Amino acid sequence: MEKKVLTAQQARYIKISNLLRGTVILTLAGFATRFIGFFYRIFLSNAMGAELMGIYQLVFPVFTICYTIFAMGIQTALSRLIASETGRGNYRNIYRILRIGILLSVGLALLLSFLVYIFADQIALRFLLEARSASSLRLVAIAFPFCGITACINGYYYGLKKTAVPATTQLVEQAFRVLVVYMIALYAGAGDIRVSCEIAVIGLVAGELTSCIYNLTSIFFIKLPPDLSAEGPGLQNTVSRRSTILHNLLSLSVPLSANRLLLSILHSIEAILIPAMLRRSGLSSQDAMVTFGVLNGMSIPFIMFPTAITNALAVLVLPTISEAQAAGNNNTIGKTTSITIKYSLIIGIISSGVFIAFGRDLGNAVFHNEASGNYLTILAWLCPFLYLTSTLGSVINGLGKAHITFVNSVIGTISKIILIATLIPSQGINGYLFAVLIGQLIITALDACAVIRNVRFSFDSINSILKPGIIVAAASLLVKLAYNSAKKMTHINEVIMLLSFCSILCVICLALLFLSKAVSRHDFR
């Protein structure tokens, strides 16, 4: 039977459609995960208090550094290698690449688990400057091997652009984390629910273990689809030697891991520096930790909520760009870049409008904390730059130029650290908020310059910035006025009312963007 030959335009349409479909799947799962996490944060803030939230947050710099070493670079390398093999029609290496990646990741994870467990007291006292975090560090170290396996299997699915399992994994991990913490707290408190840092970390470990089991099970029950296992004319079904695969994996993952390790260390220094500088500004140790807990445990999670969409885009952009580059398809690279930049900006502008209009109300109603609302309103200006940076970085990494994003991130993060050390002692927490905005602006500008130099793409500033900006500003003002009026006339639960009006604002903005043709189905053709 004669095979149907696709035109370049049809092939490009299929790739963009796959990108859209995969993004939708990851976005829905991301929103569901963040929805669960949103109420989990409220639960923790009430059950732990701001000070313990601050101590709990200090565990994550160590976790992030270790995760970067044993998982992050390997996951990205797996995704890129598998995407490249798929682009060349060479499918017989895929499982072999996955197995070698898992062995490498788990080996590193076990070593780091041992080191963190043994030296937890020294890490807590000398690096985190908080001795009370030692027991939490020992517990979180148990999760490392499970995280490594999950990261590798997710990288495998991302490389194939099969997003259902990674999307479900997010839900499984979050759901079990919340369930375990709630059940332990309920049982231990005999009806009076209180959560310690250790209980919260036990929930994290339980979630990672469950998601690992789920991912491993998926490998045995979800085989490669027929189009990825068939052999025929034009397919390069050659089996690479294990040493060759390991060399390719290391050549990609080591630079990525080294780069991201330095970034993780810089971000960890930033996180640890905040409470230390707050103490120098005149706050007591307890007040400094409370402020840190409010900022990182309450305000920033709100700002990161819409990244369910942009992270999904970023995850899928990398293998799409890599596959298109391997096939020499510059048109797909340009089209994908245009779409991701445009919609990252639109999502960022809408998010800024929501948080500027309702930030203070959200902080007061959800966390019963006025400071968290004030921080949220100031950080709202960060959204367009923060969300855009994630997709710009994926475009650059997909082109095999990860060193560019590394250098840009280092410059921005070092600038932020210098500003934190300089401004917080004199300006307090407002100095930190200013430092974050300036640091993110630097990174976004540098990444944008790199994409412009390396990719030919079209950018419609009217439909990407001007129309969304005008629509969101007008809609935010009107919806905020409507909310203030409704609040005086009704006695509905304030949180429910706030979330309803935030949703209404988003729907109105999207509808107006469609009517003004700033957003169009033609973008994905």
CA distance linking residue 375 with residue 151, whole number of Å: 32
- Within a domain: 2: no
Would you state the pLDDT for residue 481? 93
pLDDT higher at 49 or 439:
439
Determine the pLDDT at residue 194: 63
Asked if the structure places residue 221 within a domain, the reply is yes
- Structure confidence at residue 238 (pLDDT): 59
Q: What is the largest CA-CA distance in the chain?
A: 79
**pLDDT tens, residue by residue, 372-401:** 888 889 889 989 998 888 889 888 888 878
What residues have CB less than 8 Å from 277, skipping those under 6 apart?
420, 421, 424, 425, 431, 432
The span from the CA of 157 to the CA of 312, in Å, is: 13
pLDDT in the model for residue 21? 61
Q: Quick one: pLDDT band at residue 349, thresholds 50, 70, 90? A: very high
Q: If pLDDT is split at 50, 70 and 90, which confidence band does 232 have?
A: very low
* 1 within domain boundaries: no
The confidence score (pLDDT) of residue 411 equals 92
Q: Which residue has the tokens 């499984």?
A: 172
* pLDDT top residue among 237 and 136: 136
| Range of weakest confidence among 179-193, 282-296, 392-406, 472-486 | 179-193
CA–CA separation, 411 vs 420, rounded Å?
14
Within-domain flag for 477: yes
Per-residue pLDDT at 225 exceeds 70: no
> Backbone phi, then psi, for 378, in 5-degree steps?
-70, -45
pLDDT tens, position by position, 11-44: 554 455 555 565 566 667 766 777 777 678 777 8
Residue 92 lies in a domain: yes
Q: What do you get for the CA distance between the two ends of the chain, in Å?
A: 29
**What's the structural domain count of the chain?**
1
Question: In this predicted structure, which of 25-39, 277-291, 477-491 has the lowest mean pLDDT?
Answer: 25-39
Helix pair 8-48, 164-188: axis angle to 10 deg: 10
pLDDT score, position 296: 77
Residue 203 falls within a domain, yes or no?
Answer: yes
Mean pLDDT score of the chain: 82
When pLDDT is averaged across residues 337-345 and rounded to a whole number, the result is 87
Most confident of 3-17, 237-251, 304-318, 409-423: 409-423
pLDDT of residue 494: 82
Domain annotation covers residue 3: no
The average pLDDT across 466-485 equals: 93
Residue 196 lies in a domain: yes
Q: How confident is the model over 473-491, as a mean pLDDT?
A: 89
pLDDT in tens, 244-279: 778 888 888 887 788 778 888 888 888 888 888 988
| Helix, strand, or coil (residue 515) | helix
**Domain limits at 16?**
8-229+238-524
Residue 421 has pLDDT above 60, yes or no: yes
Query: What percentage of the chain has pLDDT greater than the value 70?
Result: 85
The pLDDT assigned to 482 comes to 93
